[in-house]
Structure 1
Amino acid sequence: MTMKNHDEIRSEVRNHYSSIARGATPGCCGGATVDSEQVGYSKEQLSAAPAGANLGLGCGNPQAIASLRPGETVVDLGAGGGFDAFLAARSVGPTGQVIGVDMSADMVHLARANAKKHGTTNVEFLLGEIEHPPVGDGVADVVMSNCVINLSPDKPAVYQEAFRMLRPGGRLAISDVVELKPMPAEIADDISALCGCVAGAAGVGQLISLLTTIGFADVKIELEPGSREVIASWAPGRKFEDYVASAKITATRPLTVTTGSDVKKPAAACCPAGCCA
């Protein structure tokens, strides 16, 4: 199936991940459940989250770069079944709060059910697109996400919203897939490769330029060692690992920048995928 317009892409992605939430489609990126230890989670973290929260949908561990502290407020974009949100809730403790946002009603239902079963009270899950999260301005100490922003057809809007939600001094902690070199059309135009966290990946240079233009400081993108072997397992034979890798994306909102007219606005769309990588 070839790529479509933004609304059609969102619909395809929503349907794909809703099916996973209902148990009708195996996870995840690339169509196979990721071994969470391979992407950076400890056995202790894996045992701490509610059963059913870890759907194997990640490409990294944003907890490892978020440096969460007790009492902080965290927004998790594309929270899925709630796995990272529950780990974050544990880190910020009873005086902190975690807000998970997902555009799939089935995922939100699953995450809320997991919270109820686990008795976690400092986390809530909201229905909304990550380009338009239903979260107020300047409420978050940390905005995190795990292998989700690559799925968005409007990445500038996602990162602009992350900037808006962060308090001055707040931190961005993203695990995502990035493009290493331009993809052939059979991958770049394949909606199944987009839903599989490959075709929508942006280049490293492209992302650095975007985040800097929005106003983020201390922008760093670090490739995850060994991630290409994990990506190779998503769709054996398709050679996705030649074109993308997992990365840690971190940045901060400067203390001196405020919301509104002082925030730089990015262009409506990034440059073509891979042009800056």
Structure 2
Amino acid sequence: MKAEDLKRVVKEKYGSIANQSLLTTQTGCCSGTSCCGELEFSMIGDEYQNVSGYNQEADLGLGCGLPTEFAGIEKGNRVLDLGSGAGNDCFVARSLVGEEGTVTGIDFTEAMIQKARQNLAKTGFKNIDFILGDIENMPLEANTFDVVISNCVLNLVPDKFKAFSEIYRVLKPGGHFCISDVVITGTLPDKLKEAAELYAGCVAGALPFDDYLTIIRQQGFSQPEVKKQKKIEIPEDVLLKYLSKEELEDYQSGNHGIFSITLNASK
């Protein structure tokens, strides 16, 4: 899929999600009518209910981890959330930075920014803002943030070199990121890669894990460390929508896998 087509699919799908009023319960990235369309298996978004700052109205069930858990966010920090959606992780981060810090969310889907601002207006918080922008070319000054977080977003960005380069640029010297994302091991069947719904569902846009780490290091980051990982199991009935029985057997018998990971690295 070409970069511009992938961006269009993601923007349309997540714009639709933002405009829905039916997402009252979530089981993860692929809950019911959410980002995976006909794919109805559940991703492994971590439990937020007991997390300080959790805002249920801002939780659209689109994550694959809990990056704030390992982000080392401190009072007074300036935090940036990439692909902030309806603001869920921003509200959690705000509880950690306190009144002295600030949190900025960036998203390239206008409907998501609108949803996040509506959620923010209900809180009265003055130290969170949501801006419209592309992660590959962020309208933000260099050396600005102490911590960058993101939750199941960078795998959807076509040019991950640019994305991590931009993360490096906006971080202060000595700053760090903590990202929850999806990676693959082995080879993902071409038919899965070509499924647009899977691209918008956080799976087929994922990179091989080793390539992911290579990009991070090439952009100048040091000490990348995986804090948490979990394999994502896709039910056979879902796989059979894209694979023949023979292809399914090969896929299951090989060294293939899709993982949710949370990792950090420093500038």
TM-score (norm 2): 0.84
Taking only aligned residues, the RMSD between alpha carbons, in angstroms, comes to 2.4
What is the distance in 2 between the residues matched to 1:134 and 1:73? 16
Q: How many angstroms does 1:27 deviate by?
A: 2.1
Deviations 1:9-34 (A, max 9, x none): 10111000000000078223675595
Contact 1:173 1:250 in 2 (8 A): yes
**Residue 72 in structure 1 maps to residue 77 in structure 2:** yes
* 1:130 CA displacement: 1.0
Task: Give CA deviations for 1:225-254 in whole Å, capped at 9, x if unaligned.
Answer: 3x424xx3698445899531101121000x
Matched, 1:247 2:261: yes
Tell me whether 1:92 sits opposite 2:97 in the alignment: yes
Equivalent residues in 2 for 1:254-273, closer than 5 Å: none
Q: Distance in 1 between matches of 2:237 and 2:144?
A: 39
- Alignment counterpart, residue 6 of structure 2, candidates 4, 9, 12: 9
* Correspondence for 1:157: 162
Following superposition, the deviation at residue 39 of structure 1 comes to: 3.5
Distance 1:132 1:69, change over 3 A: same
What secondary structure sits across from 1:175 in the alignment? strand
Alignment of 1:54-133 (within 5 A): 54-133=59-138
Letter in 1 for 2:265: A
Secondary structure of residue in 2 paired with 1:193: helix
Identical counterparts, % of pairs:
34
Distance 1:61 1:102 in 2: 18
Deviations 1:112-162 (A, max 9, x none): 000001222211000011111221101110111000000011011100000
Give the letter for the 2:34 counterpart: G
- 2:215 counterpart letter in structure 1: L
Amino acid in structure 1 at the alignment position of 2:137: H
Segments of 5+ residues of structure 2 without an aligned counterpart are 23-32, 241-247
Secondary structure, counterpart of 2:62 in structure 1: coil
In the TM superposition, residue 62 of structure 1 has moved relative to its aligned partner by 0.2
1:18 to 15, 20, 27: 15
Instruction: Find the counterpart in structure 1 of residue 47 from structure 2.
Output: 41
Measure, in 1, the Cα distance between the counterparts of 2:40 and 2:17: 11
Q: Distance in 1 between matches of 2:72 and 2:200?
A: 29
Pairs aligned (count): 244
Paired residue for 1:270? Answer: none
- Deviation string 1:72-105 (CA, Å, 9 cap, x unpaired) is 0011000000000110011101110011000000
Counterpart residue number, 2:201: 196
C-alpha contact (below 8 Å) 1:98/1:122 kept by paired residues: yes
Question: For the residues of structure 2 that align with 1:33 and 1:90, how far apart are their CA atoms?
Answer: 31
- Give distance in 2, aligned partners of 1:79 and 1:195: 16
Name the structure 2 match of 1:267: none
Q: Which residue of 1 aligns with 2:147?
A: 142
2:141 alignment partner, SS class: coil
2:214 aligns with 209
In structure 1, how many angstroms separate the alpha carbons of the residues matched to 2:80 and 2:182?
19
Q: Give the gaps of 5 or more residues in structure 1.
A: 254-277
Q: For 1:166 and 1:6, how far apart are their aligned partners in 2? A: 25
